[in-house]
Amino acid sequence: MSDSAETLRAAASADSGPLRGLWLTVLTADVVEAVLTAGAVVTEGIGWIGVDLQHGALEVSDLPGLLRVCRVPVLARTASGDPAHLARVLDTGVAGVIVPGVGSGSEAAALVAACRVPPEGRRSTGASRSALVGGPARPLLLPMVETREGLAAVEEIAGCAGIDGVFVGPYDLSLSLGRPTVADPEVAAAISAVAAAARRHGILAGAFSGSRSLEPLLPPLDVVAVDTDVSALRLGLAELFDAP
């Protein structure tokens, strides 16, 4: 099996703009198979899939099925940075993890220890799905910067050896900064500061968008989660029933 993490790295580093992804919160493998394998009309432009294990209805046990049917790299937003949870997620063979609420360089270093095998980290190996089917040798590790503390420590986080990129959660970040909307100039400046730190350290920069009005305000990024599956369903239903 090809290393989907490397595929994502290469695609995100291309000069064709950010790699745009769909954020899954409720869709299970059978629905994804029916929808995302329907042809280029549906799948064109979807460069990766994010699976939300923190706020969505999906669980770690849903990942193997999704990995079997998704034709693009799959990143999992974990429920936490707990090492045991991270190990279970990585053992499925995902291309990488997006870890929420990272607020310091020491927290980023702890994630490296939990996600990397020795000598770089302390993650153990075993007869996991990833090992048996040939999952990525070195999954992507993307800490989320989504708090005032994380923003203040972004240089430490981005500069931590073993980190592949930083991923902004603009909605939690706006709440942490006390700003009314993600379109607030202070939030836009914060996202730009995170992207600039990633550039300085030669790692990937990503963000969740979730709003067509927000995307024009985003700085140049490598990976963007355009919106959720629920939003896509709402838009599709609105178009279907508004059509003559």
User: Which tokens hold the place of 191?
Assistant: 């996202």
- Going by the DSSP 8-state scheme, the letter that residue 189 receives in this structure is H
Place of tokens 């024009």: 216
Other Cβ atoms within 10 Å of 155 Cβ, number: 14
Query: Any residues with CB less than 8 A from the CB of 1 and at least 6 apart, and which?
Result: 133, 134, 135
**Choice among 10, 17, 42, 55 that is catalytic:** 55
Instruction: For residue 49, report the phi and psi dihedrals to the nearest 5 degrees.
Output: -120, 130
- Going by the DSSP 8-state scheme, the letter that residue 219 receives in this structure is P
Measuring CA to CA, how many Å separate 154 from each of 23, 54, 83, 199? 24, 22, 22, 12
Our answer to whether residue 55 is catalytic in this structure is yes
Distance, in Å, from the CA atom of 203 to the CA atom of 3, rounded to the nearest integer, reads 18
Distance, in Å, from the CA atom of 100 to the CA atom of 190, rounded to the nearest integer, reads 17
DSSP string across 192-243: HHHHHHHHHHT-EEEEE---TTTGGGSPS-SEEEEEEHHHHHHHHHHHHHH-
Catalytically active residues, by annotation: 55
